[in-house]
Structure formats: structure tokens, C-alpha cells
Amino acid sequence: MITLKINGATYKLNVAPDTPLLWAIRDAAGLTGTKYGCGRALCGACTVFVDGQPTRSCIMPVSAVARQPITTIEGLNSKTAHAVQSAWRQLDVVQCGYCQSGQIMSATALLNDNPDPSDEHIDAAMSGNICRCATYVRIRAAIKLAAKSLT
């Protein structure tokens, strides 16, 4: 039994300690907004915040994060996150949408760190998140729009 704190709620989950956080979140806690794309920290679809830091949950064993606050797409509620989500909607960034939880987590983390990112900052922060629909033009534009709306 592992106790996780996800989005402010406490979950007691019956999973093996080596279970990646991703699968504890999805299968055990039943929060399916966080996606599986590669399982090897190559695509960013599974990005969540652990203690506020963007983390690839697919390679993070649950045993390593017990007691640390975890935020998933369902639990985003900061001003920055809402600005990101609203920019995403304003520019209709999404296509299939499958990568977008991870994109939004990464973008929120970027703006938390750097409220006025340059193209280079965006490249560095977002190139770990694959979008097979190639919505990249709009991801870039939406990050800038969100940044602007926060100033």
C-alpha cells in the first residue's frame, strides 16, 4: 500500500513500489488526463508536477514520490495554468489532443519559472514534448499569449 498526495487529495493505492507514478495515477487513482506515450521519458505525454517540478511520471517509481505533492492536469488551478489553458483554447491549439495534457503541464512549468520566455527558452522547455499532430506553431504562440495575458 502506497500513499500518494495527488491534487490535494490523499490516495491509498495498492500498487507495487516499482510501479511508475504514471500507472499509479492512471490505473490506481483513476485520473486519466495524464497520458502514456512512450514509457521511457522520450515524449512528455505523462508530465506531472512533483513538488511543483515537471516530471516524467512514466519512469518515476511511486516509492520515490510518496509524501511529495503531485499535481496532474486535473488539479491545475494556478493563475498561470489557467492562462495557459485559456490561451490554448483561444488559439485552438489541440488536434487529437492526446499530447496536450503534457504540453500544458510543461508550458505551465515554463511560465512558472520564466514569465517572459524567448523562442529559445520555449524550444528548450518544450522540445521534450512530442506532438505527432505537429501543433507546435500554436503551442509556441499560445505560450506567448499566456505570458502576455499574465503581465
Partner 1 sequence: MKKQRTNHEAKIVNESRRAFLKSGVATGAGLTLGIYLPAVLARPVLAGPVKTGRQTVTQPTLKPNAFVHIGTDETVTVIVKHLEMGQGTYTGLPTLVGEELDAAWSQIRVEAAPADATRYNNLFWGPTQGTGGSTAIANSYDQMRKAGAVAREMLVQAAAEKWSVAADGITVQEGIVHHRPSQRKASFGALVELAAQQPVPAEVFLKDPHEFRLIGKVLPRKDNADKVNGRAMYTQDVKLRGMLTALVAHPPRFGATPKQFDSAATKKVEGVVDVVAIPNGVAVLAKDFWSASRGRDVLQVDWDETQAFTLGSDEVMTRYKSLAQQRGRVARNVGDSQAALKESARVVEAAYEFPYLAHAAMEPMNCVIVLNQQGCEIWNGEQFQTPDQMAVASVLGLESAQVKINMLYAGGSFGRRANPQSDYVVEAAHIVNAIGGRAPVKLVWTREDDMRAGYYRPMYYHQLKAGIDASGNPIAWQHRIVGQSILKGTSFEQALAQDGIDQTSVEGAANLPYGIPNITVDLHSPDIGVPVQWWRSVGSTHTAFAVETFIDELATTVGSDPFELRRDLLREHPRHRGVLELAARKAGWGRPLPDGRGRGIAVHESFNSYVAQVAEVTVAGDRTFTVDRVVIAVDCGIAVNPDVIRAQMEGGMGFGLSAALSSKITLDQGRVKQSNFHDYTVLRLDQMPKVEVHIVKSTTAPTGVGEPATPVIAPAVANALHAATGRRFYELPLRFAP
Between CA 134 and CA 123 the distance in angstroms is 14
Which one of ligand FES, partner 1, none interacts with residue 56, CB within 5 to 8 A by kind?
ligand FES
Convert 130-148 to b/e letters by CB count within 10 Å (16 or more is b): bbeeebbebbbebbbbbbe
Buried b (16+ CB within 10 A) or exposed e, 73-105: bebbeeebbebbbebbeebebbeeeebbbbbbb
Question: Could you say whether residue 23 binds partner 1 (CB under 8 A)?
Answer: yes
Question: 68 vs 82, which CB is nearer to partner 1?
Answer: 82
Give yes or no for residue 45 binding partner 1 (CB under 8 A).
yes
Smallest CA-to-CA distance from 34 within 15, 56, 18 is with 56
Residue 11's binding partner, choosing from ligand FES, partner 1, none, with beta-carbon cut-off 5 to 8 A by kind? none
Stretch of residues binding partner 1 (CB under 8 A), selected from 36-44, 49-57, 63-71, 108-116: 36-44
Site string for ligand FES, 58-97 (x = CB under 6 A): x-----------------------------------xxxx
**Grid cell for residue 12:** 491509498
Nearest-approach distance from CB 151 to ligand FES, in angstroms: 27
Given the rule CB under 6 A, which of 3-11, 63-71, 79-87, 130-138 is the region that contacts ligand FES? 130-138
* Residues in 76-135 at the binding interface with partner 1, rule: CB under 8 A: 76, 85, 88-89, 92-101, 104, 122-124, 126-135
Q: Which of 4, 20, 46, 83 binds partner 1 (CB under 8 A)?
A: 20
Distance between CA atoms of residues 83 and 149, nearest Å: 7
In DSSP notation, 118-137 reads -HHHHHHHHTTS--TT--HH
